[in-house]
Amino acid sequence: MGMDALGGDGGEFAVLAASERAAMVRRIEADGAFAADPGWIEAFAAVPRHLFVPYYYVSGPRGYERRWAGSPDPRSRERWLRGAYEDVPLATRVRDGELLSSSSQPSLMALMLAALRVGEGDRVLEIGAGTGYNAALLSYRLGEENVTTVDLDPEITESARRHLAEAGHHPAVVTGDGARGVPERAPFDRIIATCTLTTIPRAWTAQCRPGGLVLAPLATGLVALTVHDAAHAEGRFLHTPAYFVPLRGGGRPEPEPVPLGGVPQRARESDLFRFLLTLTRGALDPQAAYALWEREDRPGRERYGVTVDGEHAWAWLDAPDGPYAWALPEPLAPEPVAAQGSDPGEGPDPGKGPNLGGP
């Protein structure tokens, strides 16, 4: 949705958008998210995030509040625009109370993109198209011909494609199960996922060039795997926490809640303990995980890593051949993509919004 859709305030809002975008970039830079690769500063400064979130939902005192560019109230449009450049994730797709898609927190996106360590001409596959904003940043930096983004939901891919086109970018946008990768566009130099996993799909290492990198949310962290060949990859977690919508498709069941009886309150409330508990789900019970956590001085995420060796993958603490290693779930067979005969559309009518319990 362009600035002309803002009710005749195009010039005023264009100035405001540029100012808010510059302020967002300064905040992200001050937080150090660009430190590993300052080359991303220019992309974030140039790509207008508000074009990718023509509407979104924020939690308010009476439930969810809808903000959208088409509001008849100029003050509401201004709140929408300013909110688009806050350093927060924005909920963009909700169905039956389930969050399906969002625009990720910009500083986390910056940290992840910097951790990719891209070079000129690198080909990148993004798993999880979201709004298209991340693909636009990649297209700006690397060229749209080098960028592919995939999502299971045809509504998401269609709206991402429209947002990208409005921003002047035309990367490959594919509807399909992200666990399959996109073999017809392979090989890739980098694969970045913006959805939480329980294990590493083997299609990703098979579609990544030797020496390439797979960066993916796992448990509540981000693991950066160097690919050795089609069947082997290994790497450590970044220090930062990361929370994303789960990867959908392939019949992936939601994990059952873990009972925490016998675990002290201080551990239950610790982000680092819950990371260990999630990473070792099915391999360590909560009491054993707590004992290890205390014995090893409450390790941070960067002490953990993952190894992929053929059909087997495991997480580890400190070293892949050390005393602490836990098998990750076997990858499930990806599911066929459903027929796409329905109108993809933008999703819920932005003038109405989904029923989220609020006005």
At 292 the pLDDT is: 97
Neighbours of 266 (CB within 10 A): 9
- Cα–Cα distances (Å) from 141 to 33, 37, 81, 124, 191, in that order, read 17, 12, 24, 11, 15
Active-site annotation holds for 71: no
Average pLDDT of the chain?
87
- Summarize the confidence of residues 303-325 as an average pLDDT: 96
Write down the pLDDT at residue 346.
36
Render pLDDT for 110-148 as a digit per residue (tens, 0 to 9): 999 999 999 999 999 999 999 999 999 999 999 999 999
* Cα 274 versus chain centre, distance: 20
Average pLDDT over residues 258-273: 88
Q: What pTM was computed for the model? A: 0.87
E strands of the chain, at which residues?
55-60, 63-68, 90-95, 98-103, 124-127, 147-151, 172-175, 188-193, 208-218, 221-229, 232-236, 304-309, 312-317, 325-327
Report pLDDT digits (tens) over 203-227.
Answer: 999 999 999 999 999 999 999 999 9
Rounded to an integer, the average pLDDT of 180-194 is 97
Q: Which position among 101, 102, 103, 107 bears the catalytic label? A: 101
Least confident of 138-152, 261-275, 299-313: 261-275
Please enumerate in sequence order all residues whose Cβ is within 8 A of that of 321, keeping only pairs 6 or more positions apart, or say none. none
pLDDT tops 70 at residue 251 = no
Whether the pLDDT of residue 273 is over 60: the answer is: yes
Asked if residue 223 lies in contact with residue 198, where contact means CB atoms within 8 angstroms, the answer is: no
pLDDT at 334: 53
Q: At what angle do helices 106-115 and 133-142 cross, to 10 degrees?
A: 40
Mutual angle of helices 271-279 and 286-295, in 10-degree steps: 120
Q: How far is CA 76 from CA 6, 15, 52, 136, in A?
A: 10, 17, 18, 26
Q: What is the mean pLDDT of residues 100-118?
A: 93
Per residue in 30-78, pLDDT (tens digit) is: 999 999 999 999 999 999 999 999 999 887 776 678 899 999 999 999 9
Q: How far apart, in whole angstroms, are the C-alpha atoms of residue 111 and residue 96? A: 32
What confidence score (pLDDT) does residue 12 get? 65
Task: Write down the pLDDT at residue 2.
Answer: 44
